[in-house]
């Protein structure tokens, strides 16, 4: 996984051996489509700054414009290398668009290219704060007890009331979580705009990563409650 | 993805589900989680202070079938082992016993982490207990 510092800035055109910026799609010298060898990330591919706030309409326009430019139909009579390049660029473009258009996937991708995604599940697991685990465990136990209560024939009023009681703190946590993600995303963007140093940037990304550790727990708990209410 | 028969057996008839008194000085508790799947696993051991052998082990896991099976199997293996023997249990032993597929290997790692965390908690309590005894000795 390459960090932002070591990202390459140039690529070489395989058709004319000329140099091209890493975010170029067509060779500035011979105008042939460039093979997707050395390339930037999804942001640079779409000509976007590495920021989390993104105009959905602008993103879609960029996607459509590039889709047309790369479309394999235009390379029907081109050399095999160009046909392959058009396919590779189309496919990479689709991945980039799919990832960047969703705010959550966008944050996860940013963490990944900045080298902050956990290397493996074990590493992620060791980052979870014990207090969060205690809380999640207690909430799961409460849901278990409500299921038992329901199975033992308690009236709907009773178990639904208790389920609602369990839902409230988790829902509050979710709202808090979402607002923190927004706040931290805005902080990251401001740091990028200000050209902030590595340590400030890293601190912002680490805060975002820490928030992601709780995300699946909150979603699983809420999904468990929904399942119970709808079954 | 198909679960192995052993996973299904542990999932349908989990062994040693429950909890031990957390504040008992001879009980060690390990609570670990996998944020990527939202799993949380609690594993506890009760050690006989005279022999150093694990008398009892309990678990409670909220997660997928493989996570439940891994922790259920771990408690079975822990009973009758000394603390040192327990520390030697490897996640790969669990993978082999349950025939876990590659995507579920992290469940076995979680179980190994839970064992280590429980033993560490037990040792910490014993250490604190011993230093408390020492501190309680008459000084005058």
Which two three-digit tokens encode residue A106?
Answer: 């966008």
Q: A4 pLDDT exceeds 50?
A: no
> By CA distance, what is A210's nearest residue in B?
B35
pLDDT-derived band at B136, boundaries 50, 70, 90: low
Query: Are B94 and B115 in contact, with CB atoms under 8 Å apart?
Result: no
B 100-139: CB under 8 A from A = 106, 109-110, 113
- Amino acid A123: pLDDT: 81
B 68-107: CB under 8 A from A = 106
Nearest by CB to B38, from A134, A141, A220: name it. Answer: A220
Q: A6 pLDDT exceeds 70?
A: no
| Rounded mean pLDDT, A199-225 | 93
pLDDT-derived band at B132, boundaries 50, 70, 90: low
Q: A127 pLDDT exceeds 80?
A: yes
CB pairs under 8 A between A and B: 58
Q: Please write the tens of the pLDDT for every residue from B30-73.
A: 999 998 888 999 999 999 989 999 999 999 999 988 999 999 99
Residues of B in contact with A219 (CB under 8 A): 38
- Amino acid A22: pLDDT: 85
Nearest by CB to A137, from B31, B34, B110: name it. Answer: B31
- Amino acid B137: pLDDT: 62
Q: How are strands ordered across the β-sheet holding B39-47?
A: B27-34, B39-47, B54-62
pLDDT-derived band at B138, boundaries 50, 70, 90: low
User: What percent of chain B is modeled with pLDDT above 70?
Assistant: 91
| Rounded mean pLDDT, A134-150 | 92
A 202-221: CB under 8 A from B = 212-217, 219-220
A 97-136: CB under 8 A from B = 118, 120-122, 124-128, 130, 132-134, 136
Q: B135 pLDDT exceeds 90?
A: no
pLDDT-derived band at A3, boundaries 50, 70, 90: very low
Please spell the DSSP secondary structure of chain B, one letter per residue. -PPPHHHHHHHHS-SSBS---TT-TTEEEEEEEETTTTEEEEEEEEE-TTT-BEEEEEEEEES-HHHHHHHHHHHHHHTT-BHHHHHT--HHHHHHHHT--GGGHHHHHHHHHHHHHHHHHHHHHHHHHHHHHHHHS---
- Amino acid A124: pLDDT: 82
The Cα–Cα gap between B23 and A190 comes to 48
**Is the pTM here over 0.90, yes or no?**
no
Q: A214 pLDDT exceeds 80?
A: yes
Which member of B8, B25, B31, B37 is catalytic?
A: B37
- Amino acid A230: pLDDT: 87
| Rounded mean pLDDT, A89-116 | 96
Indicate if B64 belongs to the active site.
no
- Flag if A128 and B62 touch (Cβ within 8 Å): no
pLDDT-derived band at A231, boundaries 50, 70, 90: confident
Query: What are the phi and psi torsion angles at A33 (to 5°)?
Result: -65, 140
Q: A1 pLDDT exceeds 50?
A: no
Residues of B in contact with A215 (CB under 8 A): 35
- Flag if B33 and A134 touch (Cβ within 8 Å): no
């Amino acid at each position: 996984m390459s960090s932002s510092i070591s990202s390459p800035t140039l690529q070489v055109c395989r058709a004319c051996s000329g140099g091209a910026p890493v975010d170029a799609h067509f060779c500035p010298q011979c105008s042939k489509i460039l093979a997707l060898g050395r390339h930037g990330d999804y942001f640079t591919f779409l000509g976007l700054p590495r920021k989390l706030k993104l105009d959905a309409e602008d993103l879609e326009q960029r996607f459509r414009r590039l889709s047309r430019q790369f479309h394999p139909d235009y390379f029907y009579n081109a050399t095999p290398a160009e046909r392959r390049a058009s396919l590779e660029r189309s496919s990479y473009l689709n991945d980039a668009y799919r990832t960047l258009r969703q705010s959550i996937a966008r944050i996860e991708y940013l963490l990944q290219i900045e080298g902050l995604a956990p290397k493996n599940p074990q590493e992620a697991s060791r980052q979870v704060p014990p207090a969060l685990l205690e809380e999640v465990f207690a909430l799961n136990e409460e849901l278990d007890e409500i299921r038992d209560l329901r199975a033992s024939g308690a009236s709907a009023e009773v178990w639904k009331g208790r389920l609602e009681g369990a839902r409230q703190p988790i829902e509050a946590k979710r709202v808090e979580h979402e607002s923190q993600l927004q706040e931290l995303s805005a902080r990251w963007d401001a740091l990028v705009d200000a050209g902030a140093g590595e340590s400030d940037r890293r601190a912002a990304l680490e805060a975002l990563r820490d928030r992601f550790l709780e995300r699946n727990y909150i979603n699983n708990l809420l999904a468990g409650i929904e399942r119970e209410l709808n079954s | 993805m198909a679960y192995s028969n052993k996973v299904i057996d542990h999932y349908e008839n989990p062994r040693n589900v429950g909890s031990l008194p957390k504040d008992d000085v001879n009980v060690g508790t390990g609570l670990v989680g996998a944020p990527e799947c939202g799993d949380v696993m609690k594993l506890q051991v009760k050690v006989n202070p005279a022999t150093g052998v694990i008398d009892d082990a309990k678990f409670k896991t909220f997660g997928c079938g493989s996570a439940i099976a891994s922790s259920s199997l771990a408690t079975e293996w822990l009973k009758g082992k000394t603390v040192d023997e327990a520390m030697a249990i490897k996640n790969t032993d669990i993978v082999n016993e349950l025939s876990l597929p590659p995507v579920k290997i992290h469940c076995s790692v979680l179980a190994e982490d839970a064992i280590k965390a429980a033993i560490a908690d037990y040792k910490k309590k014993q250490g604190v207990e011993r230093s408390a005894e020492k501190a309680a000795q008459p000084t005058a």
